[in-house]
Copies of this chain bind each other. A is one copy, B any other.
Amino acid sequence: MNASIPAPDDRPLYRQLADQYRRAIDNGVLRPGDRMPSMRAFMQRHGVSLATATESYRTLERDALIDARPRAGYFVRARPTATLPAATEPDLAAAPGAAQFVGIHSAISAIVSKFQRYPDALNLGGATASPDLYPTDALQKAALRALRRRPTLLTAAGHDQGDPELRAIIARRALDAGIQIGADDVIMTHGGIEAVNLALRAVTQPGDTVAVESPCFFGLLQALESLGLRALEIPASPTTGLAIEALAFALQTHPDIKAVVVVPNLQNPLGSVMPDTHKARLVELCARAGIPLIEDDPYRELADAAQPPRSLKAWDADGTVIHCTSFNKTLAPGMRVGWINGGRWHPRIGMLKFAQSRHNEQLSQVVLAEFLETNAYERHLRRLRDRLRIQRERMAAAIAASFPDGTRFTPPGGGMFFWIELPREVSSSAFFAAALDEGIRVMPGTVFSNAGRFDHFIRLSCPSTDLDQADQAVRRLGRLAARLVAHARTP
Contact = CB atoms under 8 A, between A and B. Distances in A.
Interface of A: 105, 109, 128, 131, 134-137, 139-140, 143-144, 147-148, 151-158, 190-191, 193-194, 197, 201, 205-206, 219, 222-223, 225-226, 228, 332-336, 351-352, 354-364, 367
A223 B358 CA distance: 11
24 contacts: A105-B355, A140-B147, A140-B154, A143-B154, A143-B363, A144-B148, A153-B334, A154-B332, A155-B333, A155-B334, A157-B334, A190-B358, A191-B358, A193-B356, A193-B358, A201-B226, A222-B351, A222-B354, A226-B355, A226-B356, A336-B360, A356-B356, A361-B364, A363-B363
Given A333-B156, A334-B362, A140 B151 contact: yes
A105 B336 contact: no
Given A144-B144, A147-B140, A190-B190, A225 B155 contact: no
Nearest to A194: B357
A54 B260 CA distance: 80
Contacts of A360: 336
Contacts of A354: 222
Nearest to A142: B154
Nearest to A367: B154
Contact of A357 (B152, B197, B364): B197
B356 A223 contact: yes
Contact of A361 (B105, B228, B336): B336
A104 to B, nearest CB: 10
B136 A152 contact: yes
B143 A155 contact: no
Contact of A155 (B135, B144, B153, B156): B135
Q: Which of A157, A335, A352 has the most C-beta atoms of chain B within 10 angstroms of its own C-beta? A: A157
B128 A157 contact: yes
Nearest to A331: B155
A128 B156 CA distance: 9
Which 6 pairs across A and B sit closest by C-beta, in order of nearness? A226-B355, A134-B155, A157-B333, A190-B357, A222-B355, A194-B357
A335 B361 contact: yes
A189 to B, nearest CB: 8
A311 B485 CA distance: 59
Nearest to A348: B226
Given A135-B155, A191-B357, A336-B359, 20 more contacts: A105-B355, A131-B152, A140-B148, A144-B148, A153-B334, A154-B332, A156-B334, A158-B334, A190-B358, A191-B358, A193-B355, A193-B357, A205-B206, A223-B355, A226-B356, A334-B362, A361-B361, A361-B364, A363-B363, A363-B364
B351 A226 contact: yes
A155 B367 CA distance: 12
A131 B156 contact: yes
A228 B201 CA distance: 11
Contacts of A222: 351, 354-355
A219 to B, nearest CB: 7
Contacts of A105: 351, 355
Nearest to A139: B154
A324 to B, nearest CB: 13
A336 B358 contact: yes
A211 to B, nearest CB: 19
Contact of A334 (B135, B139, B143, B152): B152
